[in-house]
Amino acid sequence: MILLLTGLAGATCPDTVHSPTQAWPDRSAEVDPSIVAALDQALFQERNEETREGIRTDGVAIFYRGELLYERYGADYTAQTPHLIWSASKSFTATLIGMAEYKGLLDIEDSVCEYVDFHESACGVTVRNLLEFSSGLAWRETYEGEPPTASSVLAMLYGDGRQDTASFAGSQGLEDVPGTTYQYSSGDTNMLSAIARKVLEPVAGERFPWTLLFEPLGMTSATWEKDAAGTYIGSSYLYLTPRDMGRFGQLMLNDGCWEQERLLPEGWVERVSTLNPASASGQSRERGPSENQGQQFWLNTSNPGYDEGPRFPDIPENAFAAMGHWKQRIWMLPDQEIVAVRTGDDRDGSYSDNDWVPLAMALAESLPKPPPPEPEPVEESDLTSPVEASP
Rounded Cα–Cα distance for residues 155 and 130 (Å): 19
- Answer for which of 121, 274, 302, 354 binds another protein (CB under 8 A) is 121
191-210 as b/e, with b when 16 or more CB fall inside 10 Å? Answer: bbbbbbbbbbeeebeeebbb
**152 binds another protein per the rule CB under 8 A:** yes
For the bound state, the minimum distance from the C-beta of residue 88 to another protein, rounded and expressed in Å, comes to 15
**229 binds another protein per the rule CB under 8 A:** no
**223 binds another protein per the rule CB under 8 A:** yes
Stretch of 99-107, 226-234, 249-257, 292-300 contacting another protein, by CB under 8 A: 226-234
**84 binds another protein per the rule CB under 8 A:** yes
**188 binds another protein per the rule CB under 8 A:** no
DSSP designation for 38: H
Cβ(87)–Cβ(291) under 8 Å? no
Of the pair 103, 226, the CB lying nearest another protein is at 226
Per DSSP (E only), the strands in 25-183 are 57-64, 67-73, 83-84
User: What x/- string results for residues 233 through 262 when contact with another protein is judged by CB under 8 A?
Assistant: ----x-x-----------------------
> Bridge-partner residues for 63, per DSSP?
68, 339
The single-letter code of the amino acid at 37 is A
Angle of CA points 120, 231, 136, to nearest 5°: 40
Of the pair 84, 245, the CB lying nearest another protein is at 84
Of the pair 51, 390, the CB lying nearest another protein is at 51
Enumerate residues 6+ apart whose C-beta is below 8 A from 385.
none
- The interface with another protein within residues 28-57 (CB under 8 A) comprises 49
**299 binds another protein per the rule CB under 8 A:** no
Q: Is 78 helix (H, G, I), strand (E, B) or coil?
A: coil
Q: Which residues are near another protein by CB under 8 A?
A: 49, 75-76, 81-84, 119-122, 138-140, 144, 147-152, 154-155, 157-160, 162, 171-175, 207, 210, 222-228, 237, 239, 345
